[in-house]
Amino acid sequence: MNILILGSGGREHSLAWAVKQNPKCDRLIAAPGNAGIADIAECAALDILDGDAVVTFAAENAVDFVIVGPEAPLAAGVADACRAAGLSVFGPSAAAAKLEASKSFTKAICDAANAPTAAYARFTEAAPAKDYIKAQGAPIVVKADGLAAGKGVIVAMTEAEALDAIDDMFGGEFGAAGAEVVIEEFMEGEEGSLFVLVDGDDVLPVGTAQDHKRVGDGDTGPNTGGMGAYSPAPVLSDAVVQKAMDEIVRPTMREMVRLGMPYSGVLYVGLMIKDGQPRLVEYNVRFGDPECQVLMMRLGAQALDLMLACAEGRLGNAQVAWADDHAITVVMAADGYPGAYKKGTEIGGLSDLAEDSFNMVFHAGTAQDGARITAVGGRVLNVTARGASLSEARDRAYAMIDRIDWPEGFCRRDIGWRAL
Ligand code: AMP
Ligand code: GLY
């Protein structure tokens, strides 16, 4: 079959890598793709936020299956446009994508489903929001309601920080995303992410992961999109996953069905775990980046069968074949990230690395410039490895990193420390 993957990051490179290994895949196209994806798939220029353009492109190229990587096309209704045109598509409708695009929507679903999550209140004006913060005290969490590229959450350790966040949000720092603000109880515990395929009220967990959000070793410095991840996440034991499925995922997905917006696609379940009890931090309506990279490394070719079963409503009969393995991905970023960074620096040594089912460098922000690979993003490479243990996977990943010649790049040296 002919498959189109929408997106251009390391997540999409890992999806392409897994899909390509499945003999069902004939032609693989990524739009817009990147320099790494171009090694294994055709890359096409296409406005992936434009549902009509995606449908037209799919018809012209005899595409049978569309996999949507990032959240923006989902929120823009690209999966709806594909379904309306009779295309098989992996990804939820715009209505269901509100689970990521609106924090207050998700909170209301949790209330209706009685799913454990942080206590909260929502505001559209600064004065009552500030009164609420003063009444609750710190620590407290202030969130812009809408999509803010991962920047709309302020975990305020002091009341002053929380009040400043209110001024920023209602002052327009996050644009329309901050027109409504959700203020939440600060939850203590350890975080982990659970990934679940969902098709209406059928659900299938496909793995757990933990990421590292801070830029520096020892979880220091500013927040980033994620500097590395590993799977499985020890904090998400079978018992905790079972509880999260029973108390959070199943009841909220049933509520979505009841509301006439059944979910279809992968659900990223961000959890806070304390004393064996999971509570929902957030839902995302797509694979995490870089969490997807470790999940794909572990699932391999079966990822395509699972995504197809999900899209075609056959999830009830689908199963994951688990290997007792571990995967890790270490992000190499451009010096300066998550602040300002230089573009166009050359990355050497990549072509000498063995790439196989244990070692893979996924590209996140690269371009091909003649024979050279150059860095064009903040997060640039996801050096990913698999092993019988996490330490084996980690040693493989750092051995690859040590052979990459990129003086203007850096990485954390302690990915996986919490689990090792
Ligand atoms: P979100 O975008 O909702 O995942 O928030 C980003 C990060 O903020 C999460 O991964 C948590 O580390 C943190 N966070 C969000 N909500 C809370 C909460 N209620 N209590 C503690 N930490 C939180
Ligand atoms: N790594 C976090 C995310 O994809 O949202």
Q: Measured from the CB, is residue 187 less than 6 Å from ligand 1?
A: yes
CATH 3.90.600.10 fits 326-410, yes or no: yes
Query: What integer pLDDT is reported at residue 64 of this predicted model?
Result: 97
Query: What integer pLDDT is reported at residue 148 of this predicted model?
Result: 76
379-387 and 65-68 as β-strands: parallel, antiparallel, unpaired? unpaired
Query: What integer pLDDT is reported at residue 175 of this predicted model?
Result: 76
Query: What integer pLDDT is reported at residue 270 of this predicted model?
Result: 98
Contacts of 239 (CB under 8 A, 6+ apart): 276
Query: What integer pLDDT is reported at residue 358 of this predicted model?
Result: 96
- CATH classification code of 190-317: 3.30.470.20
Nearest to 19 by CA among 37, 43, 3, 38: 3
| Number of the ligand 2 atom closest to the C-alpha atom of 284 | 5
How many Å apart are CA 147 and CA 363, to the nearest integer?
Answer: 24
Instruction: Give the residue-averaged pLDDT of 274-297.
Output: 98
> What six digits make up the tokens of 153?
């959450």
Query: What integer pLDDT is reported at residue 88 of this predicted model?
Result: 98
Query: How far, in Å, from the CA of 288 to the mean position of ligand 2?
Result: 4
Task: Give 43-72 pLDDT, tens digit per residue.
Answer: 999 999 999 999 999 999 999 999 999 999
Q: Measured from the CB, is residue 211 less than 6 Å from ligand 2?
A: yes
Yes or no: say if 247 and 258 are a contact pair by the CB < 8 Å rule. Answer: no
CATH of 2-93, one of 3.40.50.20, 1.10.260.40, 2.60.40.740, 2.30.110.10: 3.40.50.20
How many Å apart are CA 365 and CA 351, to the nearest integer?
Answer: 17
Q: Measured from the CB, is residue 118 less than 6 Å from ligand 1?
A: yes
Percent over 90 (pLDDT), the chain: 92
Mean pLDDT of the chain: 96
Task: Give 19-50 pLDDT, tens digit per residue.
Answer: 999 999 999 999 999 999 999 999 999 999 99
Yes or no: say if 55 and 87 are a contact pair by the CB < 8 Å rule. Answer: yes
Instruction: Give the residue-averaged pLDDT of 61-89.
Output: 97
Which ligand is located closest to the Cα atom of residue 382? 2
Report domain extents, the chain. 2-93, 119-185, 190-317, 326-410
pLDDT band at 381 (very low <50, low <70, confident <90, very high): very high
Yes or no: say if 396 and 384 are a contact pair by the CB < 8 Å rule. Answer: no
Instruction: Give the residue-averaged pLDDT of 108-131.
Output: 96
How many Å apart are CA 262 and CA 284, to the nearest integer?
Answer: 15
Q: How far is CA 30 from the centre of its chain?
A: 18
Q: Which CATH class is domain 119-185?
A: alpha beta
* Position 235 pLDDT exceeds 90: yes
How many Å apart are CA 49 and CA 72, to the nearest integer?
Answer: 7
Instruction: Give the residue-averaged pLDDT of 220-245.
Output: 96
Cα-based distances in Å from 271 to 117, 358, 418: 9, 28, 16
* Position 149 pLDDT exceeds 80: no
* Position 124 pLDDT exceeds 90: yes
Q: Measured from the CB, is residue 178 less than 6 Å from ligand 2?
A: no
